[in-house]
Amino acid sequence: MDSVYHSGERSMQIQAGAVDAAATMGRQILPLIAHLYTNFIQKQPFVIIGASDYLGMAWSSILCGKPGFLRVMDEQTLRIDALPDSQDPLGENLGTGSDIGLLLIDFSTCRRLRLNGSVVRDKEGLSVRPHQVYANCPKYIQTRSCELRSDASIYPRQVCQAASLNDVQRKLIERADTFFVASYHPAGGADASHRGGFPGFVQVLDDATLVWPDYSGNGMFNTLGNLIENPNCGLLFIDFEKGRTLQLSGSARIIRDSERAVFFPEAERIIKFDIKRIIETENATSLRWTFIEYSPDNPWFC
């Protein structure tokens, strides 16, 4: 591609009147890992990943380890000394040659970095060759402290596979102030991104449908640019206090709904998500986070 943006991203930028802003941000996208990112990457105890399975369904997951499990080998190689659990949908689908999106996010400093690339897999972990590397702003990131709990179980246990939400899962989503989105574009590859707001900013319409607001961002439209040309996406909700995860895979679309929009002041658009598959896992991570404060950028809503 002549541009750092694929056709879906450019289409969204035009619709939103963000072409100039996207062009400015695009100059920060690098095809390699800049030295200034090395320390940040190697200090992180987890990374959010996004990829597609062999059916084309997108999934978001989390990989964890002691700081240092993420290693910058050189400007073209990020080593991850971890693999998705065998019960994770990406466990058997993330192989050599797969596209992957990585999101490194430090909740204590509200700093985040995205790295999209391709995978070389071995028995011990993943080596990722970057295609795009760039930092994101701190908007909508809730501040949390993080610790690796030695008393937490290290054995993930899948407790539920379903196509519709149960009451416990609904409550987890309705209380969430943070979730992650995996998306994929044939030309742009895989991507993992963050969404945040006050609890309740994700609404459960029924046991197989969610909606959430899309707030003002950096004008790049990486996620929505993927979704308008490939609606398949995966959501990840984390129970930060217990290490439980809820992975949802389905399809998303941008909707225009003036009646619903009144519940989301400052939203530029609304996303509707139809669930196709649900996986709930206990002990998905031995990390535990303690809430500190909400982002000052979170819009208020009724």
Strand 77-80, strand 99-106: pairing:
unpaired
Q: Does any domain span residue 265?
A: yes
- What is the percentage of the chain residues whose pLDDT exceeds 70? 95
Backbone angles phi, psi at 191, to 5 degrees: -150, 145
Rounded to an integer, what distance in angstroms lies between the CA atom of residue 202 and that of residue 200? 5
Average pLDDT over residues 57-66: 96
Q: What digits encode the pLDDT tens for the residues 142-194?
A: 999 999 887 666 677 888 899 999 999 999 999 999 999 999 999 999 999 99
Tokens encoding 38: 């090395």
Supply the mean pLDDT for the chain: 93
Q: Does any domain span residue 18?
A: yes
pLDDT at 242: 93
pLDDT at 154: 67
Tokens encoding 241: 């206090």
Q: Does any domain span residue 167?
A: yes
Q: What digits encode the pLDDT tens for the residues 103-153?
A: 999 999 999 999 999 999 999 999 999 999 999 999 999 999 999 887 666
The structure's pTM equals 0.95
Rounded to an integer, what distance in angstroms lies between the CA atom of residue 28 and that of residue 113? 12
Instruction: Determine the length of the chain.
Output: 302
Q: Are 4 and 24 in contact, with CB atoms under 8 Å apart?
A: no
> How confident is residue 301, by pLDDT bands cut at 50, 70 and 90?
low
CA–CA distances in Å: residue 74 to residues 105, 120, 141, 286: 21, 15, 29, 29
Helix (H, G, I), strand (E, B) or coil at 287: strand
Rounded to an integer, what distance in angstroms lies between the CA atom of residue 158 and that of residue 286? 15
Q: What digits encode the pLDDT tens for the residues 238-264?
A: 999 999 999 999 999 998 766 666 678
Q: Does any domain span residue 299?
A: no
pLDDT at 1: 45
> Which residues have a Cβ under 8 Å from the Cβ of 179 and sit 6 or more positions away?
173, 194, 195, 202, 235, 236, 237, 238
Helix (H, G, I), strand (E, B) or coil at 167: helix
Rounded to an integer, what distance in angstroms lies between the CA atom of residue 186 and that of residue 236? 22
- CATH number of the domain at 136, please: 2.30.110.10
- Domain total of the chain: 1
Per the structure, the complete domain to which residue 140 belongs is given by 7-293
Residue 302 pLDDT more than 60?
A: no
Q: Does any domain span residue 301?
A: no
Q: Are 78 and 70 in contact, with CB atoms under 8 Å apart?
A: yes
Residue 82 pLDDT more than 60?
A: yes
Average pLDDT over residues 34-41: 97
Rounded to an integer, what distance in angstroms lies between the CA atom of residue 237 and that of residue 284? 11
Rounded to an integer, what distance in angstroms lies between the CA atom of residue 22 and that of residue 225? 12
Element (H, E) at 170: helix 167-175
Q: Does any domain span residue 2?
A: no
Side chain identity at 302, as an amino acid letter? C
Q: What digits encode the pLDDT tens for the residues 223-239?
A: 999 999 999 999 999 99
